[in-house]
Structure 1
Amino acid sequence: MSDHNTQADHTAALTDAGITPDKKTFLQSLTEDWWAVILGTIIIATVLYLSGNGTSITLPAYKWSNTDDLFNKILAPHNLLLIVETGAIFLVLSGAAILLSGGHVGRFAAGFTLIYVLATISFIIGGNKTVSYFGLEYVVFALLIGIALGNLVQIPNWLKEAVRSEFYIKTGLVILGTSIVSGDLIKAGLPGIIQAVIVVTAVWFFSLWLSRKLKVDDEFGVILASAVSICGVSAAIVAAGAINGDKRKLSYVTTLVLVMAIPMMIIQPWAVKFFHIPEVVGGAWLGGTLDTTATVTAAGDIVGPIAVKAGVIAKFSQNVFIGVAAFFIAIWWAYKKPKGDGVAVVRAESPGLKIVWERFPKFVLGFIAASLVFSFLLAPATAKGLGSSLNGLRTIWFALAFISIGMEAKFSSLVKLQGGKPAFTFVTAQLFNIFWTLLWAYILFGGYLFPVPDFN
């Protein structure tokens, strides 16, 4: 997992831990993906165990409205202690993976501590009521903090040891699987499911087609297409992980998603009212185009309560496609061979299953396993009750990842990346998404094929 250290560092670290040569060979054979699955599994199993014993997970509070809230709630001694305790647990878990895979745990611990502090700052800024109202979540500030640090100062070696964005992202994605349950798909009903299938499929292929027309490489195109068609940042992260994509490109797409979300949150609810679009249709439209449940809820609230319910249900049905997309993208990408210039082309001869397995991102298996367990092995009430805790733990991993991504991305290269073509692709595909989803929201929720859903 670590490429920062010499073999001597690896040997010394493992010897200090009392690990035998036989174990060393096995542990060092575990890839970053497998460590993500192991850590994700430990976290999920721990939450399940504690829940079964009547113990709930308490995570730090970050939501605040005014300075009184900030000092008396967020910066209160008990909450600061909770932040420190949470960081210590994450350090122990990730540090164990680093140590057992041969990394320098001392340097990692120092770097991780700084990254965790920066991630906490991004949570506090994004937790402000006014900031979150405009759709500016912690992701924006984590990226900006990381980019500022990575571009203004020389990153020291002890910090580089902890800048492991893919490791953090993949661990978070395994936990994300617990929130993708079949009950959400059932709740969406047939109109929501059909809308999700038609919208995701058409927008994904349109976006990839446009990327290729503009000579944007397939790696970029897949991340862009997934972000536009499914659910924004989360889908972009999953797609990038499935193809082991360039972190600069993920950072670029994430920035585009967040920038586009702000005008969409304002303009779309206005359009629903101005053009007298039925509230249930407007809600389904918002759910199919806006990228997070939070933004769908905020925009739907401007329209009305029915729009909120229809929007959230439409968004749930679309979110289910994260796992499906990750699985098929990973298999498709495994059959492609990267050229020296980074552009992927189909191999002349299809590789065997062994090659596909070697290239297949193992974290996807952890993601799917978590989804299956929470869909079919747990009672719906139990799965729902654990959602808040697991979501909170996942967002910590994602915050660490976006701080790291920002540090690894040079702002000058982000601005110049492929001459602005990816940005043009994203905006055009998003416009197509807006009009295409509105059409199908009318057809499916407007009473043309099915009775108008009753969300009263």
Structure 2
Amino acid sequence: AAAVGATKQELTLSIAIVSLFSLLFLLAEPYAAMGLGLSDDVAGAWIGGTVDLTGGVVAGAAVVSARCEEVAAIIKMTQNSALGVYILLIAVLASRSGLGGKDAASPAPPAKGEGLVYGLWKKFPKFVLGYLFCSVVASSLADRERGIAVPLLGGVARWWFAIGFSGLGFSTSFRSLREQLDGPNVLVHY
């Protein structure tokens, strides 16, 4: 959100819409894939590529088969691993185009003389650095150490994720979200 100058309300709206559609896809896609007679690989690629929530990808694909779950998880992890690159590119483009700060969640564009690097640093979501750090640490551990550290850190990560999304949930007002939509067509916003 900060990379493109989105307000907290716009961020909440986009997360609510994506979560709503992810829930619908999570519930419908496994049964649609089976009804269409898709192979486990194709169903896994479809579910992994279209359901936004990683946990939802695994849960939905598991309804089809273990192979579908495996393929869906690989697709989703590939998407997730590319997020840092996408966010950096979006931050660069937004910084160059002058998008910026409508509220505290979105820093203003770099002031004259600040430079592109500082402007990117202000807008860049720092969680990506944490993700990269954890990936490097987990990759450099010996198998025995990794077997202990990764599940432990995974549990900690899930708690922080749950706390963060609970905070978003508490700040979500469906009345104000509905007012932000330009009419009933939520698909335009999705």
Query: One fold, TM greater than 0.5?
Result: yes
Secondary structure in structure 1 of the residue aligned to 2:37: coil
Residue 373 of structure 1: aligned partner: 137
Kindly provide the amino acid, as one letter, of the partner of residue 262 in structure 1: L
* Deviation, structure 1 residue 301: 2.6
Q: Report the counterpart of residue 423 of structure 1 in structure 2.
A: 186
| Distance apart, 1:321 and its partner CA | 1.2
SS at structure 1 position matched to 2:124: coil
Q: What is the rounded CA distance, in whole Å, between the counterparts of 1:422 and 1:388 in structure 2? A: 42
Unpaired stretches in structure 2, ≥5 consecutive residues = 104-108
Query: Aligned runs of 1:325-340 on 2, under 5 Å?
Result: 325-338=86-99
Q: Report the number of matched residues.
A: 183
Q: Shift in Å at residue 320 of structure 1? A: 0.9
Q: C-alpha separation between the residues in 1 aligned to 2:96 and 2:17?
A: 29
Paired residues of 1:248 and 1:408 also in contact (CA < 8 A): no
The 8 Å contact of residues 61 and 69 in structure 2, kept in 1 or not, is answered as yes
Cα distance in 1 for residues equivalent to 2:24 and 2:86: 27
Query: Partners of 2:152 and 2:80 in 1: how far apart?
Result: 19
Distance 1:285 1:362 in 2: 28
- Which 5+ residue runs of structure 1 have no aligned equivalent? 1-239, 428-456
Match of 1:284 in 2: 45
Find out whether 1:397 has 2:160 as its counterpart: yes
Larger Rg: 1
Tell me, in whole angstroms, the C-alpha distance in 1 between the residues paired with 2:64 and 2:114: 52
Whole-angstrom CA distance in 2 between matches of 1:340 and 1:378: 40
Cross-structure match for 1:246: 7
Q: Distance in 1 between matches of 2:189 and 2:71?
A: 26
Cα 1:241–1:298, aligned 2, differ >3 Å: closer, same or farther? same
Residue 320 of structure 1 pairs with residue 81 of structure 2: yes
Query: Is 1:388 aligned to residue 151 of structure 2?
Result: yes
Deviation string 1:394-417 (CA, Å, 9 cap, x unpaired) is 233333333443454554322211
Q: State the SS of the aligned residue for 2:98.
A: strand
TM-score normalized by the length of structure 1: 0.34
Note closer, same or farther for the CA distance 1:288–1:380 as it changes in structure 2 (3 Å cut): farther
SS in 2 for 1:277: coil
In 1, Cα distance between the equivalents of 2:144 and 2:100?
49
Secondary structure, aligned partner of 1:413: helix
Q: 1:256 to 1:360 in 2, by over 3 A?
A: closer
d(CA) in 1 for partners of 2:4, 2:100: 14
Partner-residue secondary structure (3-state), 1:419:
coil
Tell me the alpha carbon deviations over residues 347-374 of structure 1, each in whole angstroms, 9 at most, x when there is no partner. 9x99734543553437243443333333
Cα distance 1:288–1:350, how it changes in 2: closer, same or farther (>3 A)?
A: farther
| TM-score computed with the length of structure 2 as normaliser | 0.73
CA distance in 2, matches of 1:403, 1:265: 20
**Does the 8 Å contact 1:248/1:405 carry over to 2?**
no
Answer whether contact 1:300 1:311 (CA < 8 A) is retained.
yes
Residue 259 (structure 1) aligns with: 20
For 1:44, the equivalent position in structure 2 comes to none
Q: 1:374 to 1:400 in 2, by over 3 A?
A: same
**Per-residue deviation at 1:293?**
3.6
| Alpha-carbon contact 1:243-1:361 (below 8 Å) kept | no
Structure 1 distance, partners of 2:60, 2:81, is 21
Give the match for residue 66 of structure 2. 305
Q: 1:39-188 maps to which residues of 2 (within 5 A)?
A: none
Q: State the alpha-carbon separation in 2 of the partners of residues 421 and 338 from structure 1.
A: 28
Deviations 1:164-204 (A, max 9, x none): xxxxxxxxxxxxxxxxxxxxxxxxxxxxxxxxxxxxxxxxx
Aligned partners of 1:358, 1:323: CA distance in 2, in Å?
A: 13
Rounded to whole Å, the distance in 1 between the matches of 2:34 and 2:155 is 35
State how far apart, in whole Å, the 1-side matches of 2:146 and 2:185 are: 38
